[in-house]
A = this chain, B = another copy of it.
């Protein structure tokens, strides 16, 4: 048997009290309410690097979940991703206490200006010496649009059209504006930058106008490592064009395998190879030294979880006020987009009926839409192995349980077992984040990537 390729392993977290597993902040050993303090994040970063995690993936949202009952009250009461702090400004502190850990930052295109955003990401890529990723989100909440002074978010496909335009702009700023040899920093001649090797990006499009050079010299990766989670047909096309790491919703082994096949076809259609992308799904793990210890721990955690809070979040995901549904009413209504991308994973494939509210609640034992893997290190490793072998995933975003002990258990117990099986690396690879994942020499976007087309422009006169 050929040696395995180690999995990609990220912690999945958010600068907030309740990310996915709602209610667990109430657990006596949980430290989630320290999310606003520095030590919480420095400790987390150190733990992840001790476990040779590839990255810390920071989700984000720029609005509140106010579909449930027509108000944000339930979200506030149960700390369902509110209050939520900015993820990007966390990163330099964590980068300063780690050497290899990557940082995946979620940023919503509707909330950003391309020029300002490109500078922020380049700055972080410089400071971290090439360890920055960007999870591209287009923005879907009404409440987020209102926070930004818009009356309503764009329609689903229009959001992706605008996102494509935004991408083409930031690619030009990152890839085209400064040549590799633009900065000479020659003390003798007094020349820091050769002006002929820097160019303005000019653009007038439907959504954006820009006429400016990038303000940063080329960072180690130039374009940060790109994460995306498109699931709809338009989202899949977007992911196939831009993503280097694709999040695939965990819909069970078989359904997830089908999604990956679909994404592979979409990749081929745009001339990218299977190997130029990594597919990552979410996984929630509760482990212990033995199966029994793990199950007891799961039961204990479960006593603090609030599945009804998970329902509040789900209401916003599908745009349906589930507070008005009886426990045995099937979930219906909402936009076709949202139902398609969010409910399908629960409703099952094909002709199966929609789940009832009661069934939804049962699928959220730790307060979020995840069925945790519960077991000894060997059992968890078996499950991970099945995901790799049967579903074809390349890695995992590990969902927070009780924090930080859930992660510490994983690092102390599961990581050694995965290493024994060749499923997890035993040392970090050298280089920037993109090289650690795609190999030495792959610090920049590969030539088959949409962002690389803009490099040809750098041959033009400024």
Q: Chain B nearest CB: distance from A210 CB in Å?
A: 6
* A237 contacts chain B at the CB level, 8 A cutoff: no
Contacts of A127 in B (CB 8 A): 36-38, 89-90, 93
* A293 contacts chain B at the CB level, 8 A cutoff: no
Contact, CB under 8 Å: B93 / A213? no
* A273 contacts chain B at the CB level, 8 A cutoff: no
User: Which of the residues B85, B92, B116, B210 comes within 8 Å of A93, measured between beta carbons?
Assistant: B92
* A430 contacts chain B at the CB level, 8 A cutoff: no
The residue among A71, A190, A306 with the most chain B CB atoms within 10 A of its own CB is A190
**Which of A75-83, A223-231, A314-322, A373-381 is found at the contact surface with chain B?**
A75-83
Q: How far is the CA of A111 from the CA of B115 in the complex (A)?
A: 9
**Which of A140-148, A254-262, A392-400 is found at the contact surface with chain B?**
A140-148
Q: How far is the CA of A217 from the CA of B209 in the complex (A)?
A: 35
Interface residues in A198-214 by Cβ distance below 8 A to B read: 198, 208-213
Q: How far is the CA of A25 from the CA of B38 in the complex (A)?
A: 33
Chain A interface, number of residues (Cβ within 8 angstroms): 80
**Which of A118-126, A334-342, A441-449, A451-459 is found at the contact surface with chain B?**
A118-126
* A149 contacts chain B at the CB level, 8 A cutoff: yes
Closest B residue to A142 using CB positions: B211
Contacts of A188 in B (CB 8 A): 26
* A268 contacts chain B at the CB level, 8 A cutoff: no
* A413 contacts chain B at the CB level, 8 A cutoff: no
* A109 contacts chain B at the CB level, 8 A cutoff: no
Q: How far is the CA of A18 from the CA of B28 in the complex (A)?
A: 51
Q: Which residues does A use to contact B, with CB under 8 Å?
A: 15, 17-18, 23, 25-28, 33, 36-38, 42, 62-64, 71-73, 76-79, 82-86, 88-93, 95-97, 111-113, 115-116, 119-120, 122-124, 126-129, 143, 146-150, 178, 183, 185, 187-188, 190-195, 198, 208-213, 215-217, 219, 306
- Closest 3 A-B residue pairs measured CB to CB? A147-B212, A79-B192, A149-B209
